[in-house]
Amino acid sequence: MKRIFIDPAKCDGCKNCSLACMESHRQDGGTGIYTLDLLDPRNQSRNRILSDGKGGYSPVFCRHCDIPDCAGACMSGALHKNMESGLVEYDAEKCAACYMCVMSCRYGVPAISPDRKHIIKCDFCAHLEEGPACVRACPKKAIEVREV
Amino acid sequence: MNNCTDCINCNTCPSADKPMEEYIRRIPLETAHHRVEGQSTKCGFGLQGVCCRLCANGPCRITPESPRGICGANADTIVARNFLRAVAAGSGCYIHVVENTARQLKNTGLHKDKIRSEKALNHLAGLLGVTGKDKYDLCVKVADAVLSDLYRPEYEPMELVEKLAYSPRVKRWKELGIMPGGAKGEVFLNVVKTSTNLSSDPAEMLVSCLRLGISTGLYGLQLTNLLNDVVLGDPEIRTAPVGMNVIDPNYINILITGHQHSLFTYIQDRLLDDDVTAKAKAAGAKGFKLVGCTCVGQDLQLRGAHYTEIFDGHAGNNYISEAVLSCGAIDAVLSEFNCTLPGIEPICEKLKIKQICLDVVAKKANADLIPFHYETRQEDGDKIIDEIIEAYKSRRGQVPMNLFTEHGNKNTLTGISEGSLKAFLGGSWKPLIDLIASGKIKGLAGVVGCSSVAYGHDTLTAELTKELIAKDILVLTAGCSSGGLENIGMMTPEAAELAGPNLKAVCKELGIPPVLNFGPCLAIGRLEIVATEIARELGVDLPQLPLVISAAQWLEEQALADGSFALALGLPLHLGVPPFVTGSKLVTKILTEDMVGLTGGRVIIDPDGKSAANQLEAIIEEKRRALKI
């Protein structure tokens, strides 16, 4: 099983990870940073870089927790822990948009979708063979994928 | 500085010039080609032009969750402001060059110094409507006419614009309200406009780019060439060697970099004087040679017929300057402007190469600054020469030689200008117009501007050029694009084999290559004179011509100012990478679509040589149909 590990001390707040996430999940069929619409709410990033209030940054990434708060709070079964891959997976079809996951996640990862009918959350770039786009985009190697 | 000794794992960027790519990969010194990989992670906000650091609240970046900066500026304002700032800075660079060039002509007149082309002087004086008592007085009057326009406030229109520009264009510019005021004032005004919490109007800022484009193009480009022709001599068509083979280690070699050829005039003549040659011989060399690099080398090559003794030839463009220095046989770098890369500094230090700057605007960190002053040029020149001889004596034998004598070629066609090309065609543009009308030449493409390395050294420029000539489109080049294309043989007569059947036949009949080398980026102004003269002969406006411009590998702010001139002229302008504007849908739409309705021009973005050539060919064919040819 793989996880994203974070070293906040290395983060410069460049948000390249956020742009890589947006690019990886864009729905308009386009490719390449130049055509990525930075104003389209549907392109919202699944990760976030917050200020830590002390001059540094707190990168917020889904940990795909062993005992996930989000899946525990999910009444419809849209979120569940895949014990084989280790990922916390989301099935939008089952989602009732109750936002309990948004309320429960201790890291603040799940976000409400712009149309308020779903949530958006890291899927570990399941569609990319090479793994999560955010990790590959980080120039400081503040985030990395490790086998656990 | 990378002190590697093992080149096995060295990762350099690809180059259109394969022998050069291999040479650079083996250099035991770090060059821009080596640094590309380390800088390959780009900032997406920067690429889209939506990072604003104009105030201490920033940097602010635009995302779906934060669509405005703290001040409230949206993506359109931030993008347009960044773009206009870049165009204003680029304009400032070229206006600095024309200012120094005009001052040089004025001093030439005042001191009754050497005038290499009275023909060029009379032509320019006629164009500007200036008369004088004698040729020296005429130099002063011509220079004053240019300088007084440059120094006007921005609220006073420049007087020479209507004399230099094509009348249908002037008419359109007046309708759009983009006739420029004093060129330096325009730069000043627009820098102010783009400061913190000043203009927030993206449309107005883009219109200002056009105004800056006109002053940059007519003065910084066109006039710089015409002024230089008087002092430095008219370009003459001839063949010349290019590439690193031009370097002869038996001489004291001076690499020249920059854009202000007139600042070298005194030294380049002095280097041939008997007493100076004797000093070189006493130091153990055969004499002095200048080796060309960047646009000033292209300009010297263009006028090389007047300088066969002192000028060895053009080695290459900005992004091989580090490689050229690494060969060991260069003893000094004389620089006066960009594109003098900071990357040459550690190489010069390691190889004991003397660096001297002639203009403070391009002062390199470890160079001596000996600013060019006309009044003290003799003593300063002798001081520079003595310093260079000292460098030669202290370094030769101490530093390793890594010559590359097989690089480049010996028969690149050069010396092409609006004047020499017209003379070659028999004193009229009619033969060229006939070839275009008959379809033997489908159209003209100016592949101009810089060389860059982030996505490959000259790779897009070369691919696009090959695609265009294969479609029977005659390519005209000016800038570091020339330097890259000539080193890979595109300006040798043999390159005709790469052209489409019709263009190939024309090239073989006339003995010319399918890519015509106008020299430095300043000569983009010459291409535009050619275009204007052809349009005038046909009685059409510039946007109607089957002519496209590509700054495929544009690099700098200056290129964006040049590009703004192309748009003001109403020409389609291809760029390989966007000029940091795609974060604003409004700015992108104005540049790529709505501009057609304003000036007739537009920006075309395409990073692929093949598809860009297809797009440009389609535009040329559309214009041919409209002209019914």
pLDDT tens for chain A, residues 1 to 148 = 899 999 999 998 999 999 999 999 999 999 999 999 999 999 999 999 998 888 889 999 999 999 999 999 999 999 999 999 999 999 999 999 999 999 999 999 999 999 999 999 999 999 999 999 999 999 889 999 999 8
Distance between CA B600 and CA B197 in Å, rounded?
32
Residue of B nearest to A19 (CA): B44
Quick check: B41 and A34 CB within 8 A? no
Chain B contact present for A41, CB below 8 A: yes
* Mean pLDDT score, B290-305: 95
Please answer whether residues B304 and B311 qualify as being in contact, where contact means their C-beta atoms are separated by less than 8 angstroms.
yes
- β-bridge pairing A88-90 and A79-81: antiparallel
Please answer whether residues B565 and B460 qualify as being in contact, where contact means their C-beta atoms are separated by less than 8 angstroms.
no
Please answer whether residues B235 and B302 qualify as being in contact, where contact means their C-beta atoms are separated by less than 8 angstroms.
yes
pLDDT of residue B259: 96
Please answer whether residues B54 and B82 qualify as being in contact, where contact means their C-beta atoms are separated by less than 8 angstroms.
no
H-helix or E-strand spanning residue A80: strand A79-81
Chain B residues touching residue A34 (CB < 8 angstroms) = 47-48, 577-578, 582, 605
| Reported confidence tier of residue B1, pLDDT bands at 50, 70, 90 | very low
Mean confidence (pLDDT) of chain B: 96
Distance between CA B47 and CA B583 in Å, rounded?
8
Chain A contact present for B586, CB below 8 A: no
Distance between CA B107 and CA A103 in Å, rounded?
77
Domains of chain B from N-terminus onward? 75-232 (1.20.1270.30), 244-395 (3.40.50.2030), 411-626 (3.40.50.2030)
Residues 6+ apart with CB under 8 A from B126: none
Q: Model confidence over B98-152: pLDDT tens digits?
A: 999 999 999 999 999 999 999 999 999 999 999 999 999 999 999 999 999 999 9
Nearest residue, CB atoms, A16 vs list B43, B75, B578:
B43
Q: Tell whether the model's pLDDT for residue B427 goes beyond 70.
A: yes
Helix B75-110 and helix B183-193, axial crossing angle in degrees, nearest 10: 160
Question: Which 3 state secondary structure label does DSSP give A33?
Answer: helix
φ/ψ of B68, rounded to 5, equals: -135, 150
CB burial readout B255-286, b (16+ within 10 A) else e: bbbbbbbbbbbbbbebbeeeebeebbeeeebe
Chain B residues touching residue A136 (CB < 8 angstroms) = none
Q: Model confidence over A111-140: pLDDT tens digits?
A: 999 999 999 999 999 999 999 999 999 988
Chain B contact present for A47, CB below 8 A: no
CA distances from A38 to A134, B85, B109, B375, B585 (A): 16, 22, 57, 56, 10
Q: What is the ipTM of this complex?
A: 0.80
Please answer whether residues B263 and B256 qualify as being in contact, where contact means their C-beta atoms are separated by less than 8 angstroms.
no
Q: Model confidence over B236-279: pLDDT tens digits?
A: 999 999 999 999 999 999 999 999 999 999 999 999 999 999 99
Provide the shortest C-alpha distance from residue A80 to chain B (in Å): 27
Quick check: B62 and A39 CB within 8 A? yes
pLDDT of residue B10: 73
Q: Tell whether the model's pLDDT for residue B390 goes beyond 70.
A: yes
pLDDT of residue B9: 57
Chain B contact present for A44, CB below 8 A: yes
* Mean pLDDT score, B549-555: 98
Domains of chain A from N-terminus onward? 1-61+122-148 (3.30.70.20), 65-120 (3.30.70.20)
Chain B residues touching residue A22 (CB < 8 angstroms) = 64
* Mean pLDDT score, B466-493: 98
Nearest residue, CB atoms, B43 vs list A14, A34, A37:
A14
Distance between CA B520 and CA B259 in Å, rounded?
8
Take residue A3 and report the two structure tokens written for it. 């996880």
Distance between CA A129 and CA A146 in Å, rounded?
15
Residue of A nearest to B62 (CA): A38
Name residues 100-139 of chain A within 8 A of B (Cβ).
114, 137, 139
Provide the shortest C-alpha distance from residue B610 to chain A (in Å): 18
Q: Name the residue among A19, A9, A6 with its Cα closest to residue A60.
A: A6
* Mean pLDDT score, B419-439: 97
pLDDT of residue B6: 53
Distance between CA B497 and CA B515 in Å, rounded?
12
Provide the shortest C-alpha distance from residue B41 to chain A (in Å): 6
* Mean pLDDT score, B536-553: 98
- Select from B39, B41, B604, B606 the residue whose CB has the most chain A CBs within 10 Å, as the one to mutate to test that interface: B41
Provide the shortest C-alpha distance from residue A110 to chain B (in Å): 15
Residue of B nearest to A20 (CA): B44
